[in-house]
Amino acid sequence: MTGKFDIRSWTCPLPLQNYPTIVMGHGSGGKMMSDLIRHMFLPLLENEALIQLGDAAVLEIDPGNTRVSRLAFTTDSFVVHPLVFPGGNIGDLAVYGTVNDLAMTGARPLYLSAGFILEEGLPMDLLGQITTTFASAAEIAGVQVVTGDTKVVNKGHGDGLYINTTGIGLIPPGIEIAPSNAQVGDAVIVSGTIGDHGMAIMSIREGLEFETQITSDTAPLHELVETMLAASMEIHCLRDATRGGLAAALNELAKSSNLGITFEEGAVPLQPAVIAACEMLGMDPFYVANEGKLVAMVQGEMAEEVLAAMHSHPLGQEAAIIGQVVAEHPGLVVSKTNIGGSRVVDLPAGELLPRIC
Amino acid sequence: MCLGIPGKVIEIYQANDMIMGKVDFGGVIKEACLEFIPDIRVGEYTIIHVGFGISKLDEEEAMRTLEMLREMEMLADELPELNQGLSA
Amino acid sequence: MKYLDEYRDGELTRKLLAEIRQTVTQPWKIMEVCGGQTHSIIKSGLDQLLPPEIDLIHGPGCPVCVTPLELIDKAIALASRPDIIFTSYGDMLRVPGSDRDLFSVKAAGGDVRIVYSPLDALKIAQQNPHKMVVFFGIGFETTAPANAMAVLQAKNQGIENFAMLVSHVTVPPAITAILESPQVQVNAFLAAGHVCTVMGYWEYEALVGKYRVPVIVMGFEPVDIARAILMCVQQLENGEARVENAYARSVEQAGNLPAQSIIKQVFETTDRAWRGIGVIPESGYRLKDTFQQYDAELRFPEIQVINPHESSLCISGLILQGLKKPNECPAFGKECTPQSPLGATMVSSEGACAAYYQYGRYTSSLEK
């Protein structure tokens, strides 16, 4: 990270330190907004393209490569509340979330844009903390934030901060990964313990708080994907399991491919504390959100090799084969329970709510 | 109804004239009201429902029953293997 | 998790199931009273592994499902007021009232907050002295002591801006009503383990004496459930009718006396309407006169509910009495899904319809 956020060192005609919180003027396109950009965002995100401050960034993509690769292009919006949670904040969530969307196509993520929608009254210190994390995450993920936008909304009209991103990356030739590409006999692999992010958020949610070591698993997955592809190109589907949890990811893949999925509940990696938290609140861990986990459908014969490759990467150490793609019950995900029964694992109905019954 | 989860009492104190405690569910610790199980001690287990201990778990009884059930397995072992999976 | 994992032991459960198959010689209808038990049975797939002679009937033990429509509508009316912070257990948020649910009130800007414990609702009242905090006090006897404690604490600490919308129901009158009903034929009951933890099971002796049906106090995990069903079937096959306790690690015959004492201190028995079933005499709790000031219906008499109306397609009453299975309802899975529920049994996570839908019991066999 190049710049460091320190409000005391700013020296500009209208010192930003006069404003401990965001006010409407910061979004009106004038001097105040210009100062905010120059003194808050630029020093932290500094790169050649961004400092041009043009409307759009002009980027050299893979110079010297005469075969034009395919472009992966994504957009995402981050509205998480609270803004800061155990293991991260909306800043790294936004970067890794976007990077992961790209990584699920097999792309190498390259550039991000960032639109910050700030609520009047947002403390400057907090914005600084989040932007620092945002910049640091971009560096860790090896992507550049090359263009941005800033808006301010009236107090009461935005949860402190919303971030919208787009991301682009390049897909090397020969990679054919798509939700509809699953084949009968594919192994279903999950990259690690599930439910961590959702329960980390739950642990600080008003009215439900509890003490725990659970932290969000927010992380960039593109290098893990590269490691997997190096072991085998027969990776047919990838999905990052975010909102809706493992169940949503599996269901989406089953429906896109119009095939069935079966998996063993006992094979799904779960941290004991996450299990305990889910039991206490009456929630099913298969529906709890993740931010650094992926589901892969891999050609059956290559599954063990891909798994071994995953185990060699820090983000895949607890990866496990949990099931397979089948021709039966197309579009449905069915699990085998640990007593030998079975149940359909459907898409979650809506927001996951704690229960007493 | 009645989601009740076993947890270990790790701390007991008074608050607002009620016996309160911290209960460990295995990596998750939450405060609970122990007014209905006033003779519970630190280290013992309780069933927690909506933030209240509703019973002190009888650990000896639990062990006894599990042992008895496991021994019962011997008889069932002679039976044909239960057909697992979907049964119509 | 200790004292949970051991009772989820797959091998032990399968052995118990084998023993059940070995024991059963004729058809039996067994009702599990508690919605949490229904949920556990369907989620683990245990119902599929029982011999076909055993017909598990899912009882009305879902306080969310049986909360009268009128009370849901009152809750929605209260939650919509800007001067009220409406607090509730998570289960109630998606239960449909006459035309919407608490969740949509929240979405429209109502201050609706989920709490884990009724004491949390009290804390919110203390933190917001200029607003009124109303707590949706639902539940069976298991939850009654906790809800009672909140009211008692409000009185002892002089918290004036707190009231409870009471919707408590009790189990034994419902079981009696089922046994009295000519349409329902239940051979045995699996009693609710956590209700019995609070109330004990001495009340069932009279029931068993009069109606000659076995009653087994049952826990919630696959081993507990399989064991209780085995004990039940053994009694039935031997022509016996006794009360037995298959959840002794939590339940004693007398129950939890301090908890019962607080129920008696704060609540008194009253007639209650059960959604989909009708009024069952003396089957509910209401706040005693000394705690009248904490009764939300008395604090807000102006909240009138005009014309509560149920969906004409919904047969949840028949489901709750065990007369029909969810997948026998014509609207199941079509007009009525968890995303667009017509009745409470589809919304509540432990309603039979929701369990059947969520875990794929569209028909009696997944293979169709």
What are the pLDDT digits (tens) for A192-243? 999 999 999 999 988 889 999 999 999 999 999 999 999 999 999 999 999 8
| Lowest mean pLDDT, pick from B66-80, C180-194, C240-254, C333-347 | B66-80
The chain-wide mean pLDDT, for chain B, equals 86
Answer whether B3 sits within 8 Å of A277, measured CB to CB: no
Give alpha helix (H) positions in chain C.
10-23, 35-44, 46-49, 63-66, 69-79, 102-107, 118-127, 144-156, 171-180, 193-199, 203-211, 222-237, 257-266, 296-299, 316-320, 344-347, 352-358
Which long-range CB contacts under 8 A does A46-53 form with residues at least 24 apart?
Answer: A46/A2, A46/A3, A47/A144, A47/A145, A47/A146, A49/A111, A49/A144, A49/A146, A49/A147, A50/A144, A50/A145, A50/A146, A50/A147, A50/A148
Given CB atoms, is A233 within the 8 Å cutoff of chain C?
Answer: no
Domain with B33 in it = 5-76
Given CB atoms, is A280 within the 8 Å cutoff of chain B?
Answer: yes
**Chain C neighbours among A 253-282 (CB < 8 Å)?**
266, 272, 275-276, 279, 281-282
- Which amino acid, one-letter code, is at A49? A
B-chain CB neighbours of C49 within 8 Å are 82, 87
Say if CB A346 and CB A255 are below 8 A apart: no
CA of A343: which chain B residue's CA is closest? B86
The model's confidence at residue A66, banded by pLDDT at 50, 70 and 90, is: low
C169: left (phi over 0), alpha (psi -120 to 50) or beta: beta
> Shortest Cα distance from B67 to chain C (angstroms)?
11
CA of B81: which chain A residue's CA is closest? A340
Answer whether C45 sits within 8 Å of A334, measured CB to CB: no
What are the pLDDT digits (tens) for A135-167? 999 999 999 999 999 999 998 887 899 999 999
Answer whether B27 sits within 8 Å of A211, measured CB to CB: no
**Residue B82 domain flag:** no
The model's confidence at residue A68, banded by pLDDT at 50, 70 and 90, is: low
Bigger pLDDT: C161 or A207?
C161
What are the pLDDT digits (tens) for C202-247? 999 999 999 999 999 999 999 999 999 999 999 999 999 999 999 9
CA of C46: which chain A residue's CA is closest? A341
Residue A13 has pLDDT above 50, yes or no: no
Angle formed by the axes of helices A90-103 and A222-231, to 10°? 30
Say if CB C266 and CB C141 are below 8 A apart: no
**Chain A neighbours among B 16-75 (CB < 8 Å)?**
22, 25-30, 48-50
C-chain CB neighbours of B70 within 8 Å are 12
CA of C255: which chain B residue's CA is closest? B55
Average pLDDT rounded to a whole number, residues A269-292: 95
Residue C61 has pLDDT above 50, yes or no: yes
Where does CATH 3.90.650.10 sit in chain A?
Answer: 179-344
CA-nearest of A135, A145, A194 to A167 is: A145
Bigger pLDDT: C275 or A124?
A124
Residue A181: its pLDDT value, please?
A: 92
pLDDT means over runs of 10, chain B (88 residues): 91 96 96 97 97 97 92 57 39
Say if CB C217 and CB C189 are below 8 A apart: no
The chain-wide mean pLDDT, for chain A, equals 89
Q: What is the pTM of this model?
A: 0.89
**Chain C neighbours among B 19-78 (CB < 8 Å)?**
25-26, 30, 32-33, 35-38, 45, 47, 49-52, 54-55, 57-59, 61-62, 65-66, 69-70, 72-73, 75-77
Residue A4 has pLDDT above 60, yes or no: no
Overall number of domains in chain B = 1
The tokens of C133 are what? 């905090």
> Shortest Cα distance from B83 to chain C (angstroms)?
8
Answer whether C4 sits within 8 Å of A282, measured CB to CB: no
Main-chain phi, psi angles of C319, to 5 degrees: -65, -45
Given CB atoms, is A328 within the 8 Å cutoff of chain B?
Answer: no
Where does CATH 3.30.1330.10 sit in chain A?
Answer: 7-171
**Chain B neighbours among A 185-244 (CB < 8 Å)?**
203, 210-214
Identity of the residue in C44, C89, C120 whose CB atom sits nearest the CB atom of A341:
C44
Half-sphere exposure in the Cβ direction for A224 (13 Å, CA) = 31
**Residue B41 domain flag:** yes
| CA angle at A291 for the pair A286 and A294, rounded to the nearest 5° | 70
**What ipTM did this prediction achieve?**
0.91
Domains and CATH numbers, chain C: 65-170+256-299 (3.40.50.11740)
Q: How far is CA A353 from CA A202, B50, C78, C349, in A?
A: 10, 14, 21, 10
Given CB atoms, is A156 within the 8 Å cutoff of chain C?
Answer: no
The model's confidence at residue A37, banded by pLDDT at 50, 70 and 90, is: confident
- At the topology level, CATH places domain A179-344 in Phosphoribosyl-aminoimidazole Synthetase; Chain A, domain 2 (3.90.650)
Give the whole-angstrom CA distance, residue A320 versus residue A332.
21
What are the pLDDT digits (tens) for A305-325? 999 999 999 999 999 999 999
Query: Chain C interface, mutation test: which of A208, A338, A339, most C Cβ atoms within 10 Å?
Result: A339
Residue A91 has pLDDT above 90, yes or no: yes
CA of B6: which chain C residue's CA is closest? C3
Answer whether B1 sits within 8 Å of C364, measured CB to CB: no
Residue B1: its pLDDT value, please?
A: 56
Average pLDDT rounded to a whole number, residues A63-88: 84
Residue C295 has pLDDT above 50, yes or no: yes
| Number of cross-chain residue pairs from A and C with Cβ atoms under 8 Å apart | 101
Instruction: Please tell me which chains touch A, using 3 or more CB pairs under 8 Å as the contact test.
Output: B, C
Give alpha helix (H) positions in A282-337.
303-311
Residue C367 has pLDDT above 50, yes or no: no
- Level-2 CATH architecture, domain A7-171: 2-Layer Sandwich (3.30)
Answer whether B26 sits within 8 Å of A211, measured CB to CB: no
Identity of the residue in C63, C149, C364 whose CB atom sits nearest the CB atom of B33:
C149
Instruction: Please tell me which chains touch C, using 3 or more CB pairs under 8 Å as the contact test.
Output: A, B
Residue B29: its pLDDT value, please?
A: 96
Residue B81: its pLDDT value, please?
A: 45
Residue C345: its pLDDT value, please?
A: 83
Average pLDDT rounded to a whole number, residues C162-186: 90
Residue C330 has pLDDT above 80, yes or no: yes
Residue C48 has pLDDT above 60, yes or no: yes
Instruction: Please enumerate in sequence order all residues whose Cβ is within 8 A of that of A34, keeping only pairs 6 or more positions apart, or say none.
Output: none
> Shortest Cα distance from B61 to chain A (angstroms)?
23
The model's confidence at residue A60, banded by pLDDT at 50, 70 and 90, is: low
Give the whole-angstrom CA distance, residue C203 versus residue C127.
41
Q: How far is CA B57 from CA B13, B61, B66, in A?
A: 20, 9, 14
CA of B84: which chain A residue's CA is closest? A340
Answer whether C193 sits within 8 Å of B35, measured CB to CB: no
Instruction: Please tell me which chains touch B, using 3 or more CB pairs under 8 Å as the contact test.
Output: A, C
What CATH number does residue B66 fall under? 2.30.30.140
Residue C313: its pLDDT value, please?
A: 84
| Number of cross-chain residue pairs from B and C with Cβ atoms under 8 Å apart | 156
| Eight-state DSSP code of residue A285 | G
The model's confidence at residue A253, banded by pLDDT at 50, 70 and 90, is: very high
Given CB atoms, is B12 within the 8 Å cutoff of chain A?
Answer: no
Q: How far is CA C25 from CA A158, C30, C364, in A?
A: 65, 15, 22
